Amino acid sequence: MNYSDMVSETWRHGELGAAPHDYRALVRYATLAASSHNTQPWIFKLESNRIQVLPDLSRRCPAVDPDDHHLYASLGCATENLLLAAQAAGLKGLCRFDASTSGLQVDFEEAPAARSALFDAIPLRQCSRSEYDGAPLSAEELEQLQGAGHGDGVSVLLMTDADQKGLVADYVAKGNDAQFADPAWARELKSWIRFNGKEAVHSGDGLYGPATGNPDVPRWLGLLAMKGTFSARNQNKKDYRHIHSSSAIAVIYSETDDIPHWIEAGRCYQRLALQAAALGLRTAFINQPVEVGRLRPEFARAIGIDGRRPDLILRIGRGPEMPRSLRRPIGDVIR
Ligand SMILES: Cc1cc2nc3c(=O)[nH]c(=O)nc-3n(C[C@H](O)[C@H](O)[C@H](O)COP(=O)(O)O)c2cc1C
């Protein structure tokens, strides 16, 4: 399959009604969730009336994510999609953290089928790393985003002032300075870049160049181009423009810094991003200040959430759709 065929095959609704207990159909929706570097660090174990969502530790990113926070948040993202798809298929999913696997156990029971606006938005959501139009969001839009983005021990802080955006941009720049100075971080990032459609289709994972605003080029050319342009200075300029073009910045943060809350934070992100997509809004992550460990507490203090763990940072606004990222076949993630 070529890249555009694979995009159409991936980013679509499927037939849930025909086979309400087709767990593979639910897993397909789960895999459309976000994941750090598009690593898709999940395994789905299908059992009778149950799906276990397990971490795939072979897909860790130790440089950018040394404590596996993003890996577990990604599990939460996938689980949220799974629960929304189950609900649309007439199954209520009861979800609990299983300390013996560090994964989630979702038990299903029959329920009336309910197709929510968030479920409908699953194929619409993407990380849109483009410039937005900066237009303010309405009070109702902000309220809906706030409502979607909180969970058990997890809250969302929405910031819309220019001063607050400036503060976030300053911390993103500090994060870029630290990350670009770290050769292990740069090596790891490059290993997840798919410079062209052929590479993206071949692996079904990773960061497809055009989805991050770069042209589709042969690998050798992409690597050569990076030699001249890959710098904290360039990234800071781009992030500054992107942040100030956004209508709002959302920080998802937890009361407790542990795996169950990291997973919950991922579920909150997924709902918030789906709610944004349902409202015709775009979202993209700007996580640098929470990825660089020494900046995290300082950032939390600066935005008024001292003592809590800031998990994920997003910008929200209206802007163009970007090229799509791909997914691995579901056969590769089912056990
Ligand atoms: C926990 C987590 C952290 C992420 N961090 C970043 C980030 O710092 N910068 C970024 O551009 N994208 C980030 N992403 C977005 C992923 O790269 C994106 O979800 C993946 O490439 C798949 O693309 P899609 O969400 O558009 O389908 C993150 C995603 C997750 C779940």
Placement of tokens 């606006």 in the chain: 117
Every domain range in the chain assigned CATH 3.40.109.30? 3-125+324-332
SS3 104: strand
CA of 36 to the centre of ligand 1 (A): 5
Pocket test of ligand 1: the residue of 287, 288, 290, 312 to mutate, having most ligand atoms within 8 Å of its CB, is: 287
Pocket test of ligand 1: the residue of 6, 38, 205 to mutate, having most ligand atoms within 8 Å of its CB, is: 38
Measured from the Cα of 208, ligand 1's closest atom is 21
CA of 127 to the centre of ligand 1 (A): 7
Among 235, 234, 230, 214, residue whose Cα is nearest residue 323: 214
Residue 53 CA, distance from chain mean position: 16
| CATH 3.40.109.10 fits domain 139-317 | yes
CA of 35 to the centre of ligand 1 (A): 5
- Rounded CA separation 121/19 (Å): 21
Structure tokens at 73: 């948040």
Whether 209 contacts 193, CB under 8 Å: yes
Structure tokens at 130: 């483009």
- Rounded CA separation 186/157 (Å): 30
211 Cβ neighbours under 8 A, 6+ residues apart:
126, 127, 129, 322, 323, 324, 325
Pocket test of ligand 1: the residue of 10, 29, 32, 35 to mutate, having most ligand atoms within 8 Å of its CB, is: 35
Count other C-beta atoms under 10 Å from residue 28's C-beta.
Answer: 23
Pocket of ligand 1 (CB under 6 A): 34-38, 70, 73-74, 77, 126-127, 129, 207, 284-285, 287, 325
Task: Indicate the fold that domain 3-125+324-332 takes in CATH.
Answer: NADH Oxidase (3.40.109)
One digit per residue, the tens of pLDDT, for the chain of length 335 reads 999 999 999 999 998 865 557 899 999 999 999 999 999 999 999 999 999 999 999 999 999 999 999 999 999 999 999 999 999 999 999 999 999 999 999 999 999 999 999 999 999 999 999 999 999 999 999 999 999 999 999 999 999 999 999 999 999 999 999 999 999 999 999 999 999 999 999 999 999 999 999 999 999 999 999 999 999 999 999 999 999 999 999 999 999 999 999 999 999 999 999 999 999 999 999 999 999 999 999 999 999 999 999 999 999 999 999 999 999 999 999 99
Every domain range in the chain assigned CATH 3.40.109.10? 139-317
Residue 34 CA, distance from chain mean position: 3
H-assigned helices in 121-250: 139-148, 162-180, 183-191, 197-203, 219-229, 232-244
